[in-house]
Amino acid sequence: MIKVGDTLPAATLMEYVEVEGNGCSIGPNPVDVAKATAGKTIALFALPGAFTPTCSAKHVPGYVESFDAFKAAGVDEIWCVSVNDAFVMGAWARDQKTGAKVRMLADGSADFTKATGLTLDLTARGMGLRSNRYSMLVKDGKVASLNIEGPGKFEVSDAATLLAQAKA
């Protein structure tokens, strides 16, 4: 399992972009994790699934609401990672009104999630292999802090916890 001090695994996430600009074409676009984190501070949080109750009611909204505070704390970008396809993440971004505040990144085949060792097997609930709920502060591709939730919990991966770590 990934830990503080480790480099993020080499992986490609997918991002659905609806508005063409900044060199991004409309539609799912690959995001090379190593290139996208190089020289940046990223507040990354991951969750089991788009449109799920805790994720939609608490997890994503907390990061959207805290965008300005994260920027003031030196965070360049906020990423939400989930084992869903880019189209679902794009629809969820619209629903959650993430705009330019939170990048909604799809880990469709769970390659990134498996490489971090932060998987959650929800096969018994009909959801298959998903991501555990966690947050991490990433500086120049390396994990600076990591907050992993216990099963069914939402206590340490929230925006307030990661923001306090970004300010420290």
Residues designated catalytic: 55
- DSSP-derived secondary structure letter, 156: S
Helix (H) or strand (E) holding 90: helix 86-96
What is the per-residue DSSP string for 8-25? PPP-EEEEEESS-BTTBP
* Closest by Cα among 162, 167, 166, 165 to 62: 162
* Closest by Cα among 6, 8, 25, 5 to 17: 25
What is the 3 state secondary structure string of 34-88? HHHHCCCEEEEEEECCCCCHHHHHHHHHHHHHCHHHHHHCCCCEEEEEECCCHHH
Cα–Cα distance, 90 to 16 (Å, whole number): 5
Which residues have CB under 8 Å from 27's CB, separation 6+? 16, 17
